[in-house]
């Protein structure tokens, strides 16, 4: 949804922010030009730690998409505040965003969850302006969800509440993303795995994918007026391995869910009681191999086109959305970006490990991280055909970066 420019800020300005997730974590701040290209303006250290090239969820020494997550960098309060996770030490940093887009660190506070092993897993953020509450999600539990009260000056105060997305029988679930419904009434969390990934005796991955077959891969918490959460309900996400939730622009109840092992996108609706109903899963072409690990989503301002990032293929696919129904528009929509040959996805394919993405409010330009290729690629989007045409690329740190937000 296009946002209103803050006082003193012109609508022609364009800025994009990415966290490097290096051991000394930093926000890379880019200027966006009228032709869609970007240029690095500054790198501002968060004061916290990322995981570097280490991938805590899988234990791999070097792999992209360290935390299997999304929304680790978000803007708030009319783009005057920026928040980022520091997954390495389980903390969150807040920044003041100046009218020219430049960043100043305000505060950094622990999530309250201890780091066990080489890295923490704080990885996804959602903010409620109604009660000035910032929610932070961890990949590992048992306390997957913690929260802060955000002061008027952007300082963070950790709140005592602790919430899990585990069930009585699934006590080590791996979550991906936390999202607040636009009306602020519900907090939604996708679950990728019902148990922490492990290795089989032959060295292959042992993955217990959520929502397959048990229909409980989406967790819904009611949000009270003061920012505290009610009891969780565990509902069907519509497909195996739910990963990314995105509400349609202008809607408080209709959202998309990208499912990594179902290889597609689902249109879902949440009612006033928090009950979720799902449409059919619309899958992409998986002839290259399964799963495609379709994860991150972006939707155009008029809700006509959906862009879906395929982690296992190094590509982006586009869908058309008409009257609540999805259909494939262009698959793939871009030329696959190769990695350096060292990383293989779950399907066994060599992949560049694309992860977080961002779509400009005017729908013209789309930005995609390819961490294993060390590039952030800028594309022009043709909404009619769904095709993505590369207009530029910027070098980024190898394997570690995640999170994109902009205005």
Tokens of 350: 């060599």
pLDDT above 90 as % of the chain: 95
Give SS3 for 372: helix
Q: What's the pLDDT at 345?
A: 95
In the predicted model, what is the mean pLDDT of residues 145-168? 98
- Give Cβ neighbours of residue 309 (< 8 Å, ≥ 6 apart): 294, 295, 296, 297, 315, 316, 354, 355, 357, 368
Do β-strands 15-19 and 186-193 pair in parallel, antiparallel, or remain unpaired?
unpaired
Q: Using CA atoms, how far apart are residues 235 and 214, in angstroms rounded to an integer?
A: 9
The tens digit of pLDDT for each residue in 366-382 reads 999 999 999 999 999 99
CATH architecture of the domain covering 15-406: 7 Propeller (2.130)
Tokens of 177: 């993303």
Q: Would you place residue 2 in the very low, low, confident or very high pLDDT band (cuts 50, 70, 90)? A: very low
Higher pLDDT, 4 or 21: 21
Reported as type and span, the H/E element at residue 133 is strand 133-138
In the predicted model, what is the mean pLDDT of residues 145-153? 98
Q: What is the pTM of this model?
A: 0.95
The tens digit of pLDDT for each residue in 60-92 reads 999 999 999 999 999 999 999 999 999 999 999
- Mean pLDDT is lowest, of 121-130, 196-205, 307-316, 323-332, for 196-205
- Mean pLDDT is lowest, of 6-15, 191-200, 212-221, 256-265, for 6-15
Q: Does position 3 have pLDDT exceeding 90, yes or no?
A: no
The tens digit of pLDDT for each residue in 164-202 reads 999 999 999 999 999 999 999 999 999 999 999 987 887
In the predicted model, what is the mean pLDDT of residues 292-305? 98
């Amino acid at each position: 949804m296009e946002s209103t420019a803050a006082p003193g800020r012109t609508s022609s300005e364009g800025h994009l922010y990415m966290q490097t997730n290096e051991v000394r974590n930093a926000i890379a701040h880019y200027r966006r030009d009228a032709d869609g290209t970007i240029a690095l303006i500054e790198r501002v250290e968060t004061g916290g730690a990322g995981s570097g090239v280490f991938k805590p969820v899988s234990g791999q020494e070097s792999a992209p998409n360290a935390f299997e997550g999304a929304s680790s960098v978000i803007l708030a309060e009319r783009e005057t505040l920026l928040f980022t996770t520091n997954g390495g030490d389980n903390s969150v940093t807040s920044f003041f965003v100046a009218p020219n887009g430049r960043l100043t660190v305000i505060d950094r506070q622990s999530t309250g969850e201890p780091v066990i092993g080489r890295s923490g897993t704080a990885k996804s953020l959602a903010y409620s302006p109604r009660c000035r509450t910032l929610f932070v999600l961890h990949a590992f539990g048992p306390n997957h969800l913690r929260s802060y009260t955000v002061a008027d000056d952007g300082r963070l105060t950790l709140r005592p509440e602790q919430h899990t997305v585990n069930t009585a029988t699934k006590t080590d679930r791996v979550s991906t993303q936390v999202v607040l419904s636009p009306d602020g009434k519900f907090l939604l969390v996708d679950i990728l795995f019902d148990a922490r990934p492990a290795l089989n005796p032959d060295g292959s991955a042992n993955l217990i994918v959520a929502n397959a077959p048990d229909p409980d891969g989406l967790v819904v918490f009611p949000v009270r007026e003061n920012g505290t959460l009610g009891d969780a309900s565990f509902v069907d996400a519509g497909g195996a391995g739910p990963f990314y939730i995105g509400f349609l622009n202008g809607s408080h109840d209709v959202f998309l869910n990208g499912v990594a092992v179902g290889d597609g996108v689902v249109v879902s609706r949440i009612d006033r009681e928090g009950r979720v109903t799902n449409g059919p899963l619309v899958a992409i072409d998986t002839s290259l191999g399964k799963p495609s690990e379709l994860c991150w989503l972006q939707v155009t301002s008029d809700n006509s086109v959906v862009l879906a990032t395929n982690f296992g293929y190094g590509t982006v696919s586009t869908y058309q959305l008409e009257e609540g129904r999805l259909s494939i528009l262009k698959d793939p929509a871009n030329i696959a970006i190769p990695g350096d040959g060292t990383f293989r996805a779950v399907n066994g394919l060599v992949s560049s490990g694309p992860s977080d993405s961002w779509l400009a409010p005017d729908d013209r330009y789309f930005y995609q991280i390819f961490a294993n290729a060390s590039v952030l690629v800028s594309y022009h989007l043709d909404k009619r055909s769904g095709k993505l045409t590369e207009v530029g690329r910027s070098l980024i740190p190898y394997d570690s970066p995640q999170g994109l937000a902009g205005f």
